[in-house]
Amino acid sequence: MTTLLNILWLGLKEIRSLASDLVMIMFVIYAFTMAIYVQATGTSSEVNNASIAFVDEDGSALSKELFNAFYPPRFQVPEAITASEVEDAMDKGRFIFVVAIPNRFESDLRAGRHPDIQVNIDATAMQQAGIGANYIKNIINQRIATFLKRTDEMVREPVNLVVRMLFNPNGESAWFKSVVAIINQVTLLTIVLCGAAVIREREHGTLEHLLVMPLTAFEIAIAKVWANGLVILIATGASLFLIVQMALKVPFNGSVILWFVGVVLYLFFTTALGIFLGTSSRSMAQFALLIILVVVVLQLLSGGSTPVESQPQWLQYITFFLPSRHFVSFSQVIIYRGGGIRAVWPNFLMVGAIGLGFFVYSLVLFRKSIAVTK
């Protein structure tokens, strides 16, 4: 009972301290509103405004038709260049795609031959090249067919593959990115808040003050966990409703409560990590440098920027122990795919287990470190 009360009072103090730190509050608000909106709507992984040029050696009606088949927003209005310019323009990075239509293209086609069309692709533009090349192929095939058959009817193949995009039918990248952005901010901000709370207390000497009171290290640490965790939880909730659901209109297919249960489990881990980093760094400056390294690893390998399946197998075994990976995974399941507890319990279990393990470890370290505070 006294322990619970201590944790309550210490936690309230923690929130008060945070409330008086205007810069931090502004940072939290910015991170969960503006920053998420910008990240979600910023760069798109869709092919958008792709730069394209044509080398038209045919000069026929068909080649002009093809030239006109590319237009914004997906592609820029194509530029006409000569064959000799291709190499240089690609080297300079002026275009991602250059389509070369050979001489006598239309007449060869009409004669039933299968003339070549060359599509030069800058294969260092990874996100656009593959998908964009496919669009180009489809557009060209379609245009040739309709042009020659003088009909706008779709040409049917012997077997027609009908693709149904589930969970995000229009492939809007803002849906995915907004949620990943929240996840990244949760990771970053909780670590910053919790670690800073530990360091601030140590640098201001208030930690010593607490330690001579009848309080245990456990009470001091858990108070920081709940207080900072709560702040982030509220910020996350607000961000989800205001930014993701209202401003970006991302539908939430699964159970909101279930997702928040998951967030709480994850917060347990990040707060523990914050305490760990706050304890192991000697000053705020070192803490800041450490955070950059840790957060980049947690965010990049979580599957939020590239799917976990694309990581090398050996790396997947390692990232299996990253709670951020499971957070991204269960968020996708709940938010887009509308999955229930049956689909996410392994993730929950993993996040909870690692969180608990880390928390115990950080606590031991925290206790040790305060035993030898100079």
Partner 1 sequence: MLPPASQSASTPVVSIKDVTHRYRSVVALDGISLDIPSGRMVGIIGPDGVGKSTLMSLIAGSKKMQQGKVIVLDGDIADARHRGTVCPKIAYMPQGLGKNLYLELSVYENVDFMARLFGLSATERPIRVKELLDATGLGPFPERPAGKLSGGMKQKVGLCGALVHEPDLLILDEPTTGVDPLSRRQFWTLIDDIRKGRPSMSVVISTAYMDEAQQWDWIVAMDAGRVLATGTPAELMERTGTKDLEKCFIALLPEEKRSGHKELTIPPRTAAKSEIAIDAKGLTRRFGSFTAVDHVSLSIERGEIFGFLGSNGCGKSTTMKMLTGLLPPTEGTATLFGQSVEAGSLEVRKNLGYMTQAFSLYGELTVRQNLVLDARLYHIPSEKAKARIKELVEKFGLGPYLDSLASDLPLGMRQRLSLAVAVLHEPEMLILDEPTSGVDPVARDSFWELLIDLSRRQGVTIFVTTHFMNEGMRCDRISLMNAGKVLACDVPQKLIDERGAASLEDAFIGYMEDAIAGASPNGESKDKAATSTPSAGQSAAPPTPLEHRAGRFSLGRMLAYTANETMQIRRDPIRLAFAFIGSLLLMLVFGFGITTDVEHIRYASFDLDQSPESRTYLEQFAGSNRYFTETTPVYSADEALMRLQSNDVALVIEVPPDFGRDFCRGSKPDVSAQVDGANPFRGETVAQYAQGVNDTMLRDPASGLYTGPNKYTASIQERYMYNPTFESIYSIVPSIPALLLVLIPAILMAVSVVREKELGSIINFYVTPTGKMEYLLGKQIPYIVIGMINFFILALMARVVFGVPIKGSFLTLTLCTLLYLAATTGIGMMTSTFTSSQVAAVFVTAIITIVPTIQFSGLLQPVSTLEGNARIFGLIWPTTYYMHSSVGAYTKGLGPALMIPDIIFLSCCIPIFWAVSFAGLRKQEK
Binding residues among 308-327 for partner 1 as defined by CB under 8 A: 309-312, 315
| Between 129 and 233, CB nearer to partner 1 | 129
Residue 140 Cβ, how far from partner 1 at the closest point, in Å? 6
- CA-derived radius of gyration, the chain: 28
Q: Is 29 in the site for partner 1 (CB under 8 A)?
A: no
Q: Is 69 in the site for partner 1 (CB under 8 A)?
A: no
Q: Is 76 in the site for partner 1 (CB under 8 A)?
A: yes
Distance (Å, whole) CA 20 – CA 18: 5
Nearest to 268 by CA among 214, 232, 304: 232
- Footprint of partner 1 on residues 343-362 (CB under 8 A)? 343-344
Indicate which single residue of 130, 249, 251, 317 sits in contact with partner 1 (rule: CB under 8 A): 130
Q: Is 339 in the site for partner 1 (CB under 8 A)?
A: yes
Q: Is 10 in the site for partner 1 (CB under 8 A)?
A: yes
Per-residue interface string for the shown chain with partner 1, residues 199-218, x marking contact by CB under 8 A: -----xxx-xxxxxxxxx--
Q: Are 148 and 3 in contact (CB under 8 A)?
A: no
Q: Is 259 in the site for partner 1 (CB under 8 A)?
A: no
Residue 241 Cβ, how far from partner 1 at the closest point, in Å? 20
**Token pair 């996100």: residue:** 127
Q: Is 3 in the site for partner 1 (CB under 8 A)?
A: no
Q: Is 129 in the site for partner 1 (CB under 8 A)?
A: yes
Indicate which single residue of 49, 68, 107, 151 sits in contact with partner 1 (rule: CB under 8 A): 49
Indicate which single residue of 276, 287, 358, 359 sits in contact with partner 1 (rule: CB under 8 A): 287
Task: Determine the 3-state secondary structure of 101 from DSSP.
Answer: strand
Q: Is 236 in the site for partner 1 (CB under 8 A)?
A: no
Q: Is 190 in the site for partner 1 (CB under 8 A)?
A: no
Q: Is 46 in the site for partner 1 (CB under 8 A)?
A: yes
Instruction: Specify the amino acid at residue 70.
Output: F
Distance (Å, whole) CA 237 – CA 234: 5
Distance (Å, whole) CA 296 – CA 71: 38
Distance (Å, whole) CA 99 – CA 54: 5
Instruction: Give the DSSP H/E element, type plus range, for residue 293.
Output: helix 284-300
Distance (Å, whole) CA 194 – CA 220: 12
Kindly tell me the sign of the dihedral angle through the C-alpha atoms of 170, 174, 177, 181.
negative
